[in-house]
Structure 1
Amino acid sequence: MGDHLEIMRRVGKVLIVVGLIDICFMVYCLANGKGYSSSLNIFALVAGIFLWRGSMRAARLVTRYSAFGLAGGLGLCLLLVPFMRPAGLWLAEFRLSPLVTLASIAMMVVMLGLLLWTYREMRSPAVVAGLVAASEDSAVPVRYFVIGALIPLFIAVIFHFTLHGDIGAKAIELAKAKYGDSYQYSPTSFSEAGSHASVTLDAYNSHEIKSVTVGW
């Protein structure tokens, strides 16, 4: 009967370590004015503590979160990333900053691996039996898989019909007129205020990558 507690403590320890590392990295980035984005840190730390203490409610929530994150992460890699950045920009980034690019890819792989491992551990027969005994929902979290997959799909569709449509084409045309044909351009964001619109693009070639903005 205690097998599920052993599994939960193992997962909890890993999440605590990951959460602490992520919090330290967040502090480092903020202290040095670097960009930072993560959905782990505090959640991983708190969830890890409750798992380590044997909370079955935490086990249910971690199962759902890992399902959501796994589906969302795979959707991000398979759907959103190809729509957001053309292959030429990825190649330019790799040529100019190979270590940073490889580190980003490695981070994504590690994150997906952690989510997959966590989900499999939380869906082990012992933990599922523990959920049933505690009157917690023990069903496969299909809804969270679906929601996690739909979010990047929705963003990809919106991105396609805005920045890859007439707005993106107009922004690229204006960027070429302003910054020249020595760059290739990839729209990254769009904003509108009243009658004024602006688009931010990545301008890139074999020598540099920079962010430019055009408006009309």
Structure 2
Amino acid sequence: MPVRDVGARTESPLTSRGQERRDELVRFATAKFAQQGYHPTSVAELVDGIGVGKGVFYWYFASKEDLLREILNDALLDVRRHQQAAIRSESNPIRRIELGVRASLEWLQQHAEVMRLVDFAWTEDTFAADLRKGRAISIEDTARHLREAMDMGMIEPADPVTLAIAVRGITEEVARVNADAANPTVPVEDVVRMVISGITGKTAIDRERDPVR
């Protein structure tokens, strides 16, 4: 069960109603921050928007800064859950990367407002440190699959961290471009094919002859 951190108070589990109210605040704040910006949005606007008092806000979050940090953390955990669900039963490391990239792009396509908040957060020292930690975890996840693929002789030996950074860079930039468009302009499957071709050195014709899956 989720636990709230209320500063000096003893931590206690949220009730189901409490969790619903917290999630409502998170959803509304995510949309509001993405629409009009983090700094211009006040706590008063947030609580007025869902019809509660400031006391309710501060029951769940120590500050507006704490709220945005929670939004970013929740998003990181959710996208990782989607990735893990996509690759859980797959034994082929290249196929896991393919499934993971697809899951990431699909999640980000459905949560474009989060990508806008991430871009803002990188400009603020307050949040950038947390983002760097999340980036390091993501890169190491991908590098682990790449090391396994190299050990199995599926791809040429190389620095797995460098390759993982490239995979993340492509995925993140495509998500950013799609988030800025009224409708996604870069097809997910095109990106997945490009990433896998870059890792394996195989064209579409090569993959038909010698598939990685």
Using the size of structure 1 for normalisation, the TM-score is 0.30
Higher strand fraction (1 or 2): 1
Mark the structure with the bigger radius of gyration: 1
Tell me which of the two structures has the higher relative contact order, counting C-alpha pairs closer than 8 angstroms and 6 or more residues apart: 1
Using the size of structure 2 for normalisation, the TM-score is 0.30
